[in-house]
Amino acid sequence: MNIIRGVELVPMTTGSDEGEDVIARLPSGEDDPETTLIKARERERVRQMIAALPIELRETLVLRELEELSYKEIADVTHTPIGTVMSRLWRARRLLAQAARRDEAA
């Protein structure tokens, strides 16, 4: 925290917020508190499932789904053939679907 001219500046993020979009986590005026909580829990659940993926699958999935890179761009960034990128995406998506089914069954 910084204090400038008697005003305390509080950062919007902390160490645990790294990589997360703080704005996306703010409640919407359209949502009631229950809906806001459900959405927050769902985001955390998905984040945990992605974090549990093996690093090469997680990296490829994040580059495609969150960073919206093309298969060619991912291949260039990861120094892997496009076929490997496609295979990793398929495996990552399959593992996420399996984790979601297990989570729902629990």
Distance in angstroms (rounded) separating the CA atoms of residues 90 and 60: 10
* H or E, element range at 5: none
pTM, two decimals, is 0.66
Between the alpha carbon of residue 95 and those of residues 5, 50, 63, 100, the distances in Å are 52, 9, 17, 9
Q: How many CB atoms lie within 10 A of CB 41?
A: 10
pLDDT in tens, the chain (106 residues): 555 555 555 555 555 555 556 556 566 667 788 888 888 888 898 899 999 999 999 999 999 998 999 999 999 999 999 999 999 999 999 999 999 998 888 7
